[in-house]
Structure 1
Amino acid sequence: MTQVGEGQEAEETSPTVVTFGAPTVGELLAERYELVEHINNDSAGRLVWRGVDVVLRRPVAVVLRYPGGDSATEMLQAAVAASRVIHPNLVGVYDAIDEDDRAYVVREWVDGQSLRELVAADGPLDPARATAIGNAVASALAAVHATGMVHGNLHPGTVMISDDGRVVLADARTDGADSQENDLRAVGGVLYFALTGHWPHGEAPLHGATAGHGRAALPDAVRDAGGAIAAPRQMRAGVPAYLDDLTMDLLDPEIPPPSSDVLAAELSRLDIPADEQFLEQAGPLRFTADPGEEPSPLAAAGGRKVAIGIAGLLAVALVGLLIGINALGGGDDGDKEPVAQPTNSAPATDGGAEPAAQVRKLTIEDVRIIDPEGDRAEVRNAEKVIDGDEDDGWETNSYRTNAKFGGLKKGMGVWIDLGAPHTVKQLEATLSATGATVELRTGTRGDFPSTSSGDKQLLNAYSTVVGPPNEDGGTKMIFNAFEPDQKYQYLLFWITKLPAKDSGNSWKLGVQEITVQGS
């Protein structure tokens, strides 16, 4: 079993670990966290333990430092800052405690490997997987940067891939010496390492961190006589030109990097199934435009959208051709009344109005759990409601007093961001059981912090209700009372009553999947 993410394992140059009062198996910290197994000592001299939160009965990682006090200030401050950002690609931080003689941080336990270990064991990754990892890392950074913070410790040792394929970023070091630009350059380094197995920033530690934080031990990139690194395509075959260009742009100090949200959006566009790769030949946006030069709308749309647009035009032309052949055909059918044929577009009006937009499944750009009155223990796994798998969703805890969350709170919900205003036709939710009571609310703001206070503000601001839902007698719940002339970006699937389970001895609900249709 390997627990990674807190730097690399101790090297010869690592700080000496003080053993006075060292923890033991079975010890209970803060009357809550039971130590189960010592995993390793990281390169910063901290002890990494596997533990159990005996209150919530979940596995945790406990990272201890000796002594506490001033020597642990940076570690504790970084943990407190990280705990304020909730994102599926960030390791959750649960607690940070200073006991003077020792300090410790309690965070989410992740079974898996670091990117460093994965590449060392299996070699460089295929471009599709490297892109997916880069997309997850950039998305995590976008959430961090949106708060004004930086990560400051991004490298292959802090990018973790869990056994179930989830990619998470761990071990932020917010010491004030880093910048968001350095974080973005590090994304280029992570992509380069995933594609080549080499670290492009050389032996000198990145961002001013100590060499023991897991960077100096990485193989250096191949360089020419002038010290310039070889591009991924020069080191191995099969790397697409667009991914090579994007990686090298991020590493080029002469090219200003994009913001983290723009980079995340671009990598998300490139992170598509392998059977759709042929649609991406136009490649990514480049960051080398002259100052003041506006990007081409066609380039911004991307190769996939262009290809889909051309395919749509060909489809319309083919239908039109069939209609023409039918209308001009002779024989016995010549005296029949013409029959209207289906078409992919609405007929043009005398006023030249735009054709009616086609209803489609809308992309949900962001999703999170809203829990204004809870202890934040149920806000994880929000991404499961939009992963396309109805067998694995987000679920509440079991409540044993009554259907209204044990009388502890008024409700919980799933907040949805469509990324931009859309005309919405319907929202469909697949639930784990019948009998839940749900409201669908809308609002005009999405910038509330993911905290209990922020969730309360969001709930108060989302006062417009779309409904009531249509239920099919099963576990499907459909909301389709949207105003046709109104645009929607933010939706709140607000649960006010749970269904009974276990013969009425407890109440619980799982939201297996949510989809939104519109144009």
Structure 2
Amino acid sequence: MMAFGAPTLGEILAERYQLAEHVNNDSAGRQVWRGVDVVLRRPVAVVLRYPGGDSAMEMLQAAVRASRVVHSNLVGVYDAIDEGQRAYVVREWVDGDSLREVVAGAGPLDPARATMIAHSVTSAIAAVHATGMVHGNIHPGTVMIGHDGRVVLADARADSSDTIDTDIRAIGGVLYFALTGHWPQHEAGRTALPDAVRDVSGAIAAPRQVRSGVPAYLDDLTMDLLDPRLALPSSEVLSAELSRLDAAAEEQYLDSVGPLRFSSSDDGGEMPQSSRRKIAAGVAGLLVIAITGLFFGINALANGDNDEAPPATPQTQVSTPGGSESTPPPQPQPIALTADQVRIVDADGARDELDGVEATVDGDSNTGWKTDAYDRNPNFGNLKRGMGVLIDLQEPRSITSVQVELSASGASAELLAGPADPGATREGDDEILDTFTDRIGEPFENADGATLTFSGFAPDETYQYLLLWITKLPPIGGDKYQIGVQEIAVEGP
């Protein structure tokens, strides 16, 4: 049975727009179709909902507002029609994929490409804000990347709760997602995307903590945009800063672009937000010293009057810019790994896939170890329980996260901790599978990206032996399955 107002393949709307293919349904439950403008003979996208009337008024009004802004990084809006039983918006067809689909298929983007995408989105938003309007719907599903490389922002849909600041904060979320494959939803909007990696207090991990190779300037910029304690730059100022970083990325000056240059045209200059954050941390440190010194001075005077009075324990809590009552914990640091600290675990095979594991810790994600290509079945051809990489930290260590870069998405893997390495033999590997029972965090099943981050370590425990255990391989074509482990990075306090 067809719902009243439901579209049909081949139908021509408004005697002009022929429906050629149902693409998907968007997050608001509207149908997205690829169509053809039969008058101008060009492809179009038709966003359709039913019923129309009052219930579609918000969608139509947003389309009318969006049509007033013309920019190379905004999807063009051609028409908005209400037929009563249904309503639809006709807009430019972008031959490409959303940022969400690109990252799901290929994993997080390299810093230069992530910068370029954020620059394109911000340029579009600066044009929207210049008219006094707000976009209100910036997330990886509305950032479209054409097969020709063009980046455009689609589907403006602001409501009364959206502001210029929520748009700019969402740009920080897009940049974070492009770099990590995770969405900082608590800071920048609601989606069904994988949540950002968080510590026990709920604070998100910086991109450099999630994956290696993110330049410090880009890490600072992303975290500043997501930090609710910091004032935000205007979209125009942010666009200018990203333009500078985008140009530097094209010229391969990724490590020498200098500090962030958020500046205000009103007063001639404003301190970079990352600098304000560092100064605030310095002031907090000075307060700790001052309060501690004051305490001991008072305590010394008190003890001078009463030598038998026991000394009190000083309290060194201070108020931070975010309102927290204690100083923040130190940032995790990389733990260096060498070739003799990793080996392949293969309890069920011919043990002819053991070579090359040293490339997983050489600091170069372009090199790595890979399995053989298995036929017919992703579970190692139903020949093995799995394969893995054993990591020996050489001494018990506190760990905050382990990040693994694979050669492709679609693998299933988990991280396990165990008591010892019984030896690089078939029997030793079999014992590892029996004794490594402490799972770290949740396993990845058919992982959406190629970068896996395990952060479920107990803060009061130490670990020496960890096992990256792979149980399912992604397809490589020709009914074969294979995966490579490109890089393993371990961080601790």
TM-score norm. by structure 1 comes to 0.50
Instruction: Decide which of 208, 211, 220 is 1:245's aligned counterpart.
Output: 220
Percent identity at matched positions? 74
Amino acid in structure 2 at the alignment position of 1:224: D
Q: Distance in 2 between matches of 1:272 and 1:288?
A: 18
Instruction: Decide which of 17, 25, 30 is 1:46's aligned counterpart.
Output: 30
Q: CA RMSD in A?
A: 2.7
1:307 aligns to what? none
Query: Structure 1 residue 117 and structure 2 residue 101: aligned?
Result: yes
Instruction: Decide which of 260, 263, 273 is 1:285's aligned counterpart.
Output: 260
Answer yes or no: is the 8 Å Cα contact 1:91–1:170 preserved in 2. yes
Q: How far 1:248 sits from its partner (Å)?
A: 0.6
Answer yes or no: is the 8 Å Cα contact 1:115–1:157 preserved in 2. yes
Secondary structure of 1:272's counterpart equals helix
Q: How far 1:273 sits from its partner (Å)?
A: 6.0
Query: Structure 1 residue 161 and structure 2 residue 145: aligned?
Result: yes
Q: How far 1:53 sits from its partner (Å)?
A: 0.7
Query: Structure 1 residue 195 and structure 2 residue 179: aligned?
Result: yes
Instruction: Decide which of 184, 207, 225 is 1:232's aligned counterpart.
Output: 207
Amino acid in structure 2 at the alignment position of 1:156: P
* Residues 295, 63 of structure 1: alpha-carbon distance in 2 compared, 3 angstrom cutoff: closer
2:41 aligns to what? 57
Q: Mapping of 1:134-149 within 5 angstroms? A: 134-149=118-133
2:135 aligns to what? 151
Query: Structure 1 residue 256 and structure 2 residue 231: aligned?
Result: yes
Q: Distance in 1 between matches of 2:250 and 2:231?
A: 33
- Count of paired positions: 273
Answer yes or no: is the 8 Å Cα contact 1:266–1:284 preserved in 2. no
Secondary structure of 1:95's counterpart equals strand
Q: Distance in 2 between matches of 1:150 and 1:101?
A: 29
1:266 aligns to what? 241
- Structure 1 stretch displaced more, 62-71 or 278-287: 278-287
Instruction: Decide which of 66, 77, 81 is 1:82's aligned counterpart.
Output: 66
Q: How far 1:44 sits from its partner (Å)?
A: 1.6
Show CA shifts across 1:448-480 (max 9, x none): xxxxxxxxxxxxxxxxxxxxxxxxxxxxxxxxx
Answer yes or no: is the 8 Å Cα contact 1:250–1:257 preserved in 2. yes
Q: Structure 1, unaligned stretches of length 5 or more?
A: 1-16, 301-519
Q: Distance in 2 between matches of 1:292 and 1:107?
A: 40
Query: Structure 1 residue 181 and structure 2 residue 172: aligned?
Result: no
Query: Structure 1 residue 103 and structure 2 residue 78: aligned?
Result: no
Q: Structure 2, unaligned stretches of length 5 or more?
A: 276-493
Q: How far 1:176 sits from its partner (Å)?
A: 2.5
2:77 aligns to what? 93
Q: Distance in 1 between matches of 2:6 and 2:254?
A: 57
Answer yes or no: is the 8 Å Cα contact 1:255–1:288 preserved in 2. no
Q: How far 1:252 sits from its partner (Å)?
A: 0.6
Answer yes or no: is the 8 Å Cα contact 2:238–2:262 preserved in 1. no
Q: Mapping of 1:369-518 within 5 angstroms? A: none
* Residues 275, 29 of structure 1: alpha-carbon distance in 2 compared, 3 angstrom cutoff: closer
Show CA shifts across 1:1-59 (max 9, x none): xxxxxxxxxxxxxxxx9821322222211111111122222232211111111111100
TM-score norm. by structure 2 comes to 0.52
2:193 aligns to what? 218
Q: How far 1:288 sits from its partner (Å)?
A: 10
Q: Distance in 1 between matches of 2:64 and 2:2?
A: 24
Show CA shifts across 1:130-157 (max 9, x none): 0000000000000000000000010111
